[in-house]
Amino acid sequence: QVQLVESGGGVVQPGKSLILSCAASGFSFRSYAMHWVRQAPGKGLEWVAIISNDGRHKDYADSVKGRFSISRDNSKNTLDLQMNSLRVEDTAVYYCARPPAKYYGSDIYFEYWGQGNMVTVSS
């Protein structure tokens, strides 16, 4: 079965960096675009970033553009999110998510989600 397992969260000071990882299994990872979606405490969901199946195409939410970088390693079935210049408002649970089809675009829904990883930005 499809499994997505995030790691790497924690507490970090404003302005610092953190990297999140997502280990995928149970499906052909190299065939799917992958996404990060976040949820601030007690709030709704916000799409963060997408990477194409081959890693050549990427896109970001305006709120993180220029600070976050998404990447993947298809040989290891892993997805990463490098987060730089972190702000208090980046505090959230970060989910890696897979769409239902082999489609590149942020105009898609999500069939599979990881358990989530908490990132807290605080001084």
Partner 1 sequence: EIVLMQSPGTLSLSPGESATLSCRASQSVGSTYLAWYQQKPGQPPRLLTFGAYGRATGIPDRFSGSGSGTDFTLTISKLEPEDFAVYYCQQYARSPGTFGQGTKLEIK
- Which positions touch partner 1 (CB under 8 A)? 43-47, 59, 61, 95, 100, 105-111, 113-116
Q: Which lies closer to partner 1 via its Cβ, residue 29 or residue 47?
A: 47
Q: Which secondary structure element, helix H or strand E, spans residue 25, and what is its range?
A: strand 18-25
* Closest distance to partner 1 from the beta carbon of 100 (Å): 8
Q: Give the three-state DSSP class for 67.
A: coil
Position 10: which residue type? G
Q: Which lies closer to partner 1 via its Cβ, residue 27 or residue 110?
A: 110
* Closest distance to partner 1 from the beta carbon of 45 (Å): 4
| Three-point CA angle 6, 9, 14, nearest 5° | 145
Q: How many angstroms separate the CA atoms of 121 and 17, rounded?
A: 10
By the 10 Å C-beta count (0-12 exposed, 13-18 middle, 19+ buried), 102 is classed as exposed
Q: Which lies closer to partner 1 via its Cβ, residue 74 or residue 118?
A: 118
* Closest distance to partner 1 from the beta carbon of 57 (Å): 13
Q: How many angstroms separate the CA atoms of 119 and 92, rounded?
A: 6
Q: How many angstroms separate the CA atoms of 77 and 29, rounded?
A: 6
Q: Which lies closer to partner 1 via its Cβ, residue 10 or residue 14?
A: 10
* Closest distance to partner 1 from the beta carbon of 123 (Å): 27
